[in-house]
Amino acid sequence: MDLTLKVWRQNGPNDKGRIETYPVSGVSPDMSFLEMMDMLNDQIIRDGGDPVAFDHDCREGICGMCSMFINGEAHGPNRGVTTCQLHMRSFKDGDTITIEPWRASAFPVLKDLAVDRSAFDRVIQAGGYISVNTSGETLDANAIPVPKAQADEAFNAATCIGCGACVATCKNASAMLFVSAKVSQFALLPQGQPERATRVQRMVDQMDKEGFGNCTNTGACAVECPKGIDLSNIARMNRDFLSASASEE
C-alpha cells in the first residue's frame, strides 16, 4: 500500500506546531497502525530527520497509552479498538491519512503526537480509590456478597483504560465518561459505599480544576471508547453528585 500521511509535528509544548506531509510506500495491510508509524519513523531517521514522537506501550489494546486522532476520530475509524489494534487493512491504497494529537487544554502536547495525560492521574488521586486497612488481617473480598448484575456492571466500568479517547472525541473536551467510569466502578460495589459521596465530589472538583469541558450528552465519547464504557455511567455520576451535594452538611 502507498499512503500519504499528514502528521502533526510540534517540537515542544511551546512550539506552535504544523502539519507535515510524508509519503510512505510498501505498507502491508497486516501491519498495525503503530507498526506503520514505526516504518515512517525508520524512513525519517534514514533521511536524517527527527522521528515522530507518539505514545505506545503494550500494543495489545489494554494499556491505553496509544493516543492518535486519525482522520478526525480518536483511535481511527474502527469501533472498540485502540490505535495499536487498528490495522492498515482498514485503509485503502492511495489514502491520505491525517494524524493529530489529542486536543484539550487539560492534555497539553509534549511533542508531536504525545500529550501529557497526568490530569487523569490527579482525578484518580482525588478519590478514585477505597480506603482499607491493609495491615494485618484483611477481609477476603469474596466474603462480601455482590449481586451478579451489579458486579458485572462495576467490572464493565472498571475496564476503562484511561486512554483519553473520550476527551479527545468530545466537542467540549469533557472528561465525563472517564471520571464517571472511575466513580461507578466503586459506587456499584459494597466496598465503595463508605466514601461514595465524598469520592464523587472530590473527583468532579478535580475534573473541573483540570479545565476539562462540560458534558453536552452528544454521546460521541461512548461511540469512540475502545472499551465500550456507556453513558449510564455519566447518568450515575450526575445522580450521585446531586445527592452528595444535596445531603452534604
Partner 1 sequence: MSNTGILKSSLAKKYVMALTGLFLCLFLAGHLAGNLQLILKTGEAGQQAFNEYAEFMTTFPLVKLLSYLTYASVLFHVIDGIVLSMQNRKARPVGYVKENGAANAKWSSRNMGILGTIILVFLVSHMQTFWYKMHFGAMPIHNGLKDLHTVVVEFFSPDNSIGLIAVVGYVLAQAALAFHLSHGFQSGFQSLGVRHAKYTPVIEKAGMAFALLVPALFAAIPVFLYITQL
CA atoms within 13 A on the CB side of 195: 16
In degrees and rounded to multiples of 5, residue 107 shows phi and psi of -120, 75
Q: Is 169 in the site for partner 1 (CB under 8 A)?
A: yes
CB of 138 to partner 1, least distance (A): 27
Q: Is 217 in the site for partner 1 (CB under 8 A)?
A: yes
Q: Which of 104, 160, 181, 187 binds partner 1 (CB under 8 A)?
A: 104
Q: Is 12 in the site for partner 1 (CB under 8 A)?
A: no
Closer of 173 and 189 to partner 1 (Cβ): 173
Q: Is 118 in the site for partner 1 (CB under 8 A)?
A: no
Q: How far apart are CA 47 and CA 238, in angstroms?
A: 52
Q: Which of 2, 144, 209, 228 binds partner 1 (CB under 8 A)?
A: 209
Closer of 88 and 176 to partner 1 (Cβ): 176
- Residue with grid cell 495491510, as numbered in its chain: 29
| Residues in region 67-96 near partner 1 by CB under 8 A | 69, 71-73, 77
Q: Is 177 in the site for partner 1 (CB under 8 A)?
A: no
Burial class for 25, CB neighbours closer than 10 Å (0-12, 13-18, 19+): exposed
Q: Which of 1, 6, 146, 158 binds partner 1 (CB under 8 A)?
A: 6
Among the listed ranges 38-46, 82-90, 138-146, 223-231, the one in contact with partner 1 (CB under 8 A) is 223-231
> CA of 212: how far to CAs of 3, 43, 94, 121, 175, in Å?
35, 37, 37, 14, 6
Among the listed ranges 32-40, 135-143, 154-162, 220-228, the one in contact with partner 1 (CB under 8 A) is 220-228
Q: Which of 58, 103, 121, 132 binds partner 1 (CB under 8 A)?
A: 103
> CA of 142: how far to CAs of 26, 35, 221, in Å?
53, 42, 33
Q: Is 207 in the site for partner 1 (CB under 8 A)?
A: yes
Q: How far apart are CA 102 and CA 239, in angstroms?
A: 29
In degrees and rounded to multiples of 5, residue 110 shows phi and psi of -90, -50
Q: Is 24 in the site for partner 1 (CB under 8 A)?
A: no
3-state secondary structure of 18: strand
DSSP H helical segments within the chain, as ranges?
Answer: 33-46, 118-127, 148-158, 165-169, 176-187, 196-209, 220-224, 232-247
Closer of 59 and 205 to partner 1 (Cβ): 205
Q: Is 172 in the site for partner 1 (CB under 8 A)?
A: yes
Helices 196-209 and 232-247 sit at what angle, rounded to 10 degrees?
110
> Binding residues for partner 1, per CB under 8 A?
6, 8, 17, 19, 69, 71-73, 77, 98, 100, 103-106, 169, 171-174, 197-198, 201-202, 204-205, 207-209, 211-220, 223-224, 231-232, 234-242, 244-245, 248
